[in-house]
Amino acid sequence: MQISRVFFTITSLIIFLFCYASISKSEIVTKVILLVNDIPITQSDFQQRAKFIQSGNPQLDADRVSNQAIQELIDEAIKIDASESMGITYSTDDVRLALDKQLKAQGTSLEKYSEKLLADGTNIKTIIDSRIAATLWNQYIIRKYRRFANITVSEVKKYRKDLLEQETFHVQMIKVKNERNSREDFDLAENIILNFQSCANNLTLYKDNSSILIEDIFNTKIDDVEEPFKTILSYKSDQFLLPTQVIDGEIVIMINCTPKKMKPEFEIQNILISNQLKAYSDKELRNLRQDSVIEEK
């Protein structure tokens, strides 16, 4: 049966239940409305998921809420079926503990969040069920496709370069006149570097020094910075002081007033591998949808 037809038929039948029926918080509706590869989806599953989606997206109309709820439940059933067919198991306690840890990091807990959902007419079970499906599916994709994920050095460099190009910097160019190529001028430049505290402090300290010219450049992209500082900044974006250069008879000190700590290489590799696995995941789910048996009840 085509999933689109299932969506149309089921949502037509139960939109009324979701939007207009008066269902008390204590009432449990267990009628099976769909079988997805012999995994049952009940009216209660649908109603709880729809309420949860609606609570987070109050601007959505009933049709979109219903369609999203049905699609999520069908996809989760497909993921569970595929994972279990590969022998992948899960512990409900582990899933609950992981969710509790995540919620505590956000300033709440599984117990408090469950109470809030219950007060809104939603059961924490719909989130636990979703998390179980996601946990199983993640292991399924890793087991099936991890060996195919391949990241090259050039891909890591490109990702880092793309991140840098999106960043904006506040840089300060300090030019020390060096017309006589004197030791005093180099000592002055060295003193500026050794006594550096902040870009704002530089503006105060050297504003009246006729041998020093300071230029503040705000919200600049790395591609707008002139060489050789563009290349230097690309590799030292996390540092305040960049190597001093002598350009056109001037000692040029470039200060990166807003250092950007870039992701380490191993983290970029993990992100790129995750992106590859996400592509495999999307394709695998599309294929499994086509092969799934979805029955209306």
Closest Cα to residue 238, out of 177, 178, 160, 158? Answer: 160
More confident residue, 80 or 7: 80
The answer on pLDDT for 121 being more than 90 is no
Per-residue pLDDT at 181: 67
Residue pLDDT, tens place only, 31-81: 999 999 999 999 999 999 999 999 888 899 999 999 999 999 999 999 999
Q: Using one digit for the tens of pLDDT, what is the confidence trace for 196-246? A: 999 999 998 888 888 899 999 999 999 999 899 999 998 899 999 888 888
- Residue of 79, 77, 186, 97 whose CA lies nearest to 136: 79
Q: Are 273 and 187 in contact (CB under 8 A)?
A: no
DSSP 262: P
Q: In the chain, where do the E strands start and end? A: 32-36, 39-42, 168-177, 212-221, 245-247, 250-256, 294-296
Model pTM score: 0.71
C-alpha dist (Å) from residue 290 to 2, 75, 173, 278, 282: 8, 11, 60, 19, 13
Domain boundaries, the chain: 3-148+276-296, 168-256
Topology of domain 3-148+276-296, CATH: Triger factor/SurA peptide-binding fold (1.10.4030)
Average pLDDT, the chain: 87
